A = this chain, B = another copy of it.
Amino acid sequence: MPKRPTMKDVARAAGVSHMTVSRVVNGDTGVLPDKVSRVERAIRKLGYQRNDMARQLRRQGQTTGTIGLVVDDVANTFWSALARAVEDVAMRRGFLVLVGSTNDDRRREQEVVAAFCARRVDGLVVVPVAGSQRFLRTQMAMGTRVVCVDRPGDGLEVDTVVVDNRPGTRDAIAHLIGQGHERIGFLGDRDDIWTAEERYTGYLDALGDARIEPTPSHVRRGVRTAAQATEAARELMTARHPPTAIFTGNNMITIGAIAAFSQDDRPRATALVGFDDFPLADRLAPPVTVVQQDPAALGATAAQMLLARIEGDTAPPRTVVLKTRLLTRGSGEIPPP
């Protein structure tokens, strides 16, 4: 393993002190042009590149120019769109992004956060896993800035960016009710996930508004994979009193449920509205009506808030609620039989 040249090596090659090299490398004024060019030549010749690790060590209280992004699963389009937005905002401001997926597992979340903090990231954009984020407070107390995105952190007073899950879902369910549906199924994620709970509450809100008694057998919560969603949707639709419409609580569940629809050999009569837009939703037959949210806007907003904090913003924590939009495409406009 070849040793990388240091400032000392450059200094020796250029016949100056390593301090002069430091000044040139950092673009300080007040170095004779003659020496500047000698140093620059030596840098090119040796292929010298400043060691940012060592740099940050000495420049304490300064930023390390790195932030951490902790999401559920970067492979999911929703989170990867969010990640890309965070990356773009960060890069534009000279920050690098460490990415970690948690699979909504608390242990892994703690491991990822600990590893990031050991590298002294300046801040974290976190999609909090269910459960307490108390351990994040320790890190925050030592100067790591934290912004929560998509869900608020439990027991955490920090900047937060979410969407209007509850009213968004309520409107979607109301839309179904407005078309005559009364038996509306609900497929949701694990109920300890904040967004899942909010959406379920929005579902109940809308039923309550219309004085419809909720039917427990029409509700499946804790759906974690597309396969489980397929299975759950099939169960609902083949029950004795099947719902005439189904609401699916996130993009993965929607996609899973769609598989059940096509496998079903009875004519498709069940209406479908899903939370989250997804690629090709408008190309399916029928096109899928969704509650659309903008993951890129979530990510960009969170990253901007985090960088503002890192750069000294000390205002009280804010919560930004982004709007969702009901995109009616067809699947949610199927009337009850």
Interface residues of A (CB under 8 A from B): 1-5, 47, 49-54, 56-57, 60-61, 64, 66, 73-77, 79-81, 83-84, 87-88, 91, 96-101, 112, 114-120, 138, 141-143, 255, 258-259, 262, 278-280, 283-285, 296
Contacts and interface: CB of A to CB of B under 8 A. Distances in A.
Given A51-B118, A66-B98, 16 more contacts: A5-B142, A49-B114, A51-B120, A53-B64, A53-B120, A54-B57, A73-B84, A75-B84, A87-B100, A91-B100, A91-B112, A255-B279, A258-B283, A278-B280, A284-B284, A285-B285
Given A81-B75, A120-B52, A280-B284, A87 B114 contact: no
A87 B66 contact: no
A4 B142 contact: yes
A74 B4 CA distance: 31
Contact of A142 (B2, B56, B79, B97): B2
Contacts of A5: 142
Nearest to A117: B49
A73 to B, nearest CB: 7
Given A57-B57, A101-B87, A118 B52 contact: yes
A53 B142 contact: no
Contacts of A3: 60-61, 143
Contacts of A99: 83, 87, 97-99
A18 to B, nearest CB: 16
A51 B87 CA distance: 24
B118 A4 contact: no
Contacts of A101: 84, 87-88
A96 B96 contact: no
26 contacts: A1-B61, A2-B143, A3-B60, A3-B143, A4-B143, A47-B142, A52-B118, A52-B119, A53-B56, A53-B57, A73-B84, A75-B77, A75-B81, A76-B80, A77-B77, A77-B279, A79-B80, A91-B112, A96-B98, A96-B115, A96-B116, A97-B98, A258-B280, A280-B283, A280-B284, A284-B284
A119 B53 contact: yes
Nearest to A296: B75
Contacts of A81: 75
